[in-house]
Amino acid sequence: MTLDEKARLVQGADFWTTAAIPSIGLRAMTLSDGPAGVRGPRWDERLPSLNLPSGSALAASWDEELAERYGVACAFEARLKGVDVVLGPTINLHRSPLGGRHFECLSEDPELTGRIGAAFVRGLQANGVAATPKHYVANDSETDRFTVDVRVDERALREVYLAPFERAVEAGAWGMMSAYNAVNGVTMTESDLLEAPLSSEWGFDGVVISDWTAVRSLDAVAAAQDLAMPGPQTSWSELASEIRAGRVDVDDLDRKVLRMLVLAERVGALGDREPIGQVVFDGAAFAREASVAGSVLLSNNGALPLDPAECRRLAVIGEPAHSPRTQGGGSATVIPERIMSPLDALRIAMPDAEVRFALGAEVSHGLAELPLNQLTNPVTGEPGVRVSFADASGSELFADDRRSSTLVWFGADAPLAQSSTLAVTAIFTPGVDGEIELGFAASNHARMSVAGSMVLEGWPIVEGMDLGAAFLQPPVLTAPVRVRSGVPVELGFEFSLGGDDGLPIEALSVAFGIAAKPQDADALIDAAARLAAESDVAVVFVGTTAEVESEGYDRSDLDLPGRQVDLVEAVIAANPNTVVIVNAGAPVILPWASRAAAVIVSYFGGQEFGPALADIVTGVVEPGGRLPTTWPRSLEDVPVANVTPVDGILNYAEGIHVGYRAWLRSGTAPAFPFGHGLGYTDWSWTSAERHGSDLVVDLLNTGHRPGKTVVQVYAERPGSVIDRPVRWLVGFAAVTAAPRERVVCRVEIDPRRLAHWDDGWKLEPGAFVLRVGSSVEDLPLSAPWEVTTQDLLGVAAAEDERNDQDA
């Protein structure tokens, strides 16, 4: 390869692809988000994707076998869309419940995150698609994410934040994404942590892909940073000339090129791609199964599953019942082909019941999309809209026929850089009479015309500094417009592009639609309570919104937005037989939880959340989830909440004490502990005994239904000479059993899980205690665990090898 070819290969050719090098038979490789389904290189409603449950729901399954199939599902989608490299899983930790991408990350625990993440990696890569665990490392919150300098001590890094990445490397990850942030003073794309431990110690031989625009300068060339994304402009654009001028070492480039070629070989970019192993995959069925597996039953006084004979009149209440959040916002977003609401799914699942709906509380802000069946493309006459990009002289450069009023170009086929304007036209046939608030969402200057007259012009104000957030959650302007039901009206939008109006990357996101007119909040609650009082059972859905949980910003509190708490209180008061479904990707405060008949946390359950929930509520299946993160009673109780840097620095002062470790140390009881979750059957925990390196746990399903439980094993070290958590997770296994069936389950305990970092991995000799049960607090069994000579020798030998590799 020539120097220019090599330099081209280590930088994005465009937003999502690497350079093709025809002289060596290398085609371009395509990269794509995301962690909960694969969007493909275009963000386009005409190319929908399977929308899987988000990260916190996946981890709530505590099921590695399921996580592996999740990876297979993503590989399948990736192969259909021509994607070689999937940018996931997201294995940063739930350090604070305020973290904006909490929904996308797996859990607060490195062992659970590491094992679920590793299984995802295996499932993807077994089908020839590279995984890119992200974001290496300590990118656990969003505030000032491009610049924040995370200060974290070596022990916490090794035992907590790096640990899931180490497991991903053990699983053979072919890619790894370096984060935007700095750690201990050095921005991650230039950090020595890319070399050690990642490459030299753990043996990572894949490609370190930068987060989008995270490579800031040529200083990252000397680091073990391999690929600068996205292109075509990167901070390495002058790489070849800098090498020719002798200012950058060509050996640094060659190392990267070699890794890129290894990746190309692995994904079949240097020749024919291996056919995918699994040719038939029912994605929707899998998404439904995964949603059930990730739904956590927090409490149940026997109300669930519903008895159809006793539930003739069902009240379904709450905005998420008809407009569920199936995924979090940001780069992880995919466009599902269809979503069935929980309300519709419950109606289908309970054909003999009278199912009535009340909104109860308005939660979402912003624009509601205009339904496709109310939009006609003026050029084709088909459902949809016409988009047209023009240059400064007004000549059309590119036009397209789209089928949505939400339009995103993210590394697009449209000539964003050359265009001065985007015009969107549609004929809108309203379904209502009267005045509506019509408007647009954009971070660009824009105008809106209705029936040929200009009615709105302005520049929505972008709040905050995060460009990603401005792009993905653009601000809204609206104007009152009178419409008549069934009478078509021509709409025109013109968005200014170029100059300082847009983002400095090839991305554009605009939308138009109707902003809801605020309704009387008390009246909505009263109506819902009345409906509940007239019903046998009420199922209330509550949740967060895109304004609360998304990439690019953190949360400021843990409250359910709007009047949802008042709503639940009123419905419980009207009918104690009230089941509450929490549709949030991260912990929210549930002050009424002890008074509800049952509470389910469904997380962001993916496109099949509705049918999955109906299956759970009607008892077709039991919910399979266990909390991957502690749920607090109040924000004030949360031991590690801080996500706001001071003078650019975010100090992880708590060290290794994050998640349940911090809760145990503080002595404060959370609302629901880590690992907690119920099913529809009961279990009796018989015994736990050591057999070699395994802990053998004997348990019995004592109930009348088949069920799942998760055997959780925590270590304790009474009288330790070092600072340790009260207990920490060292192993787990999801088990299922028929009624009255006994299960004997073996959980392998790797001595490394007992070791601590003290300038190297050290195993404290002596006796640990392993405690076993169904959450970090409910631990009926225990077994002594004496460290053996073999354990000590094993950890010491691994440590010698690590030192040799470092040297």
H-only helix segments in 63-138: 64-80, 110-125
As beta bridge partners, residue 357 has 316
Does 134 bind ligand BGC (CB under 6 A)? Our answer is yes
467-506: contacts with ligand BGC (CB under 6 A): 468
H-only helix segments in 667-788: none
**CA 627 distance to own-chain centroid:** 15
Q: Toward ligand BGC, which CB reaches closer, 229 or 695?
A: 229
Does 166 bind ligand BGC (CB under 6 A)? Our answer is no
Q: Toward ligand BGC, which CB reaches closer, 88 or 610?
A: 88
Q: Toward ligand BGC, which CB reaches closer, 174 or 493?
A: 174
As beta bridge partners, residue 510 has 407
Query: 308, 68 in Cβ contact below 8 A?
Result: no
25: region left, alpha or beta (phi > 0 left; psi from -120 to 50 alpha): left
Residue partners of 276: CB distance under 8 A and separation at least 6 = 75, 76, 79, 127, 128
CB of 4 to ligand BGC, least distance (A): 26
Residue number closest to ligand BGC, CB atom: 331
- Minimal CA–CA distance to 456: which of 440, 472, 475, 436? 440
State whether the Cα torsion 279-735-345-603 is positive or negative: negative
**CA 441 distance to own-chain centroid:** 24
Q: Which of 161, 204, 212, 674 binds ligand BGC (CB under 6 A)?
A: 212
Residue partners of 380: CB distance under 8 A and separation at least 6 = 386, 401
DSSP state of 595: G
Query: 40, 83 in Cβ contact below 8 A?
Result: yes
Does 136 bind ligand BGC (CB under 6 A)? Our answer is no
Contacts with ligand BGC by CB under 6 A: the residue count is 7
Query: 749, 791 in Cβ contact below 8 A?
Result: no
Query: 460, 509 in Cβ contact below 8 A?
Result: no
Q: Toward ligand BGC, which CB reaches closer, 161 or 785?
A: 161
- Minimal CA–CA distance to 62: which of 753, 731, 778, 744? 731
211 is catalytic: yes
Q: Which of 73, 78, 87, 105 binds ligand BGC (CB under 6 A)?
A: 87
Query: 191, 179 in Cβ contact below 8 A?
Result: no
CB of 406 to ligand BGC, least distance (A): 17
As beta bridge partners, residue 297 has 600, 678
Question: Using CB atoms within 10 A of its CB, is residue 247 exposed (0-12), middle (13-18) or buried (19+)?
Answer: exposed
Measured between alpha carbons, how far is 53 from 488 in angstroms, rounded to an integer?
A: 38
Strands 182-183 and 149-151: parallel
Q: Toward ligand BGC, which CB reaches closer, 180 or 728?
A: 180
Query: 602, 543 in Cβ contact below 8 A?
Result: no
CB of 209 to ligand BGC, least distance (A): 9
Measured between alpha carbons, how far is 587 from 602 in angstroms, rounded to an integer?
A: 11
Does 554 bind ligand BGC (CB under 6 A)? Our answer is no
DSSP state of 23: G
CB of 88 to ligand BGC, least distance (A): 8
Q: Toward ligand BGC, which CB reaches closer, 448 or 643?
A: 643
Q: Toward ligand BGC, which CB reaches closer, 86 or 754?
A: 86
Q: Toward ligand BGC, which CB reaches closer, 468 or 679?
A: 468
Does 55 bind ligand BGC (CB under 6 A)? Our answer is no
CB atoms within 10 A of CB 806: 12
Return the CA Rg of the chain. 27
Question: Using CB atoms within 10 A of its CB, is residue 1 exposed (0-12), middle (13-18) or buried (19+)?
Answer: middle
Q: Which of 144, 149, 211, 615 is catalytic?
A: 211
Side chain identity, residue 462 = V
CB of 468 to ligand BGC, least distance (A): 5
Q: Toward ligand BGC, which CB reaches closer, 86 or 589?
A: 86
- Minimal CA–CA distance to 311: which of 71, 598, 585? 598
**CA 740 distance to own-chain centroid:** 37
Tokens of 620: 């077709």
Q: Toward ligand BGC, which CB reaches closer, 129 or 438?
A: 129
CB of 78 to ligand BGC, least distance (A): 14
Q: Toward ligand BGC, which CB reaches closer, 178 or 774?
A: 178
Does 211 bind ligand BGC (CB under 6 A)? Our answer is yes
Q: Toward ligand BGC, which CB reaches closer, 331 or 712?
A: 331
CB atoms within 10 A of CB 61: 28
State whether the Cα torsion 378-382-385-390 is positive or negative: negative
CB of 498 to ligand BGC, least distance (A): 22
Q: Which of 33, 44, 149, 166 binds ligand BGC (CB under 6 A)?
A: 33
Does 331 bind ligand BGC (CB under 6 A)? Our answer is yes
Helix (H) / strand (E) containing 250: helix 250-267
Helix (H) / strand (E) containing 347: helix 342-349
DSSP state of 198: I
* Integer CA distances (angstroms), 650 to 151, 211, 217, 559, 636, in order: 6, 20, 23, 24, 19
Q: Toward ligand BGC, which CB reaches closer, 505 or 540?
A: 505
* Integer CA distances (angstroms), 3 to 218, 242, 244, 425, 463, in order: 16, 11, 9, 47, 43
CB of 172 to ligand BGC, least distance (A): 20
Query: 221, 248 in Cβ contact below 8 A?
Result: yes
- The catalytic residues are 211
* Contacts to ligand BGC by CB under 6 A: 33, 87, 134, 211-212, 331, 468
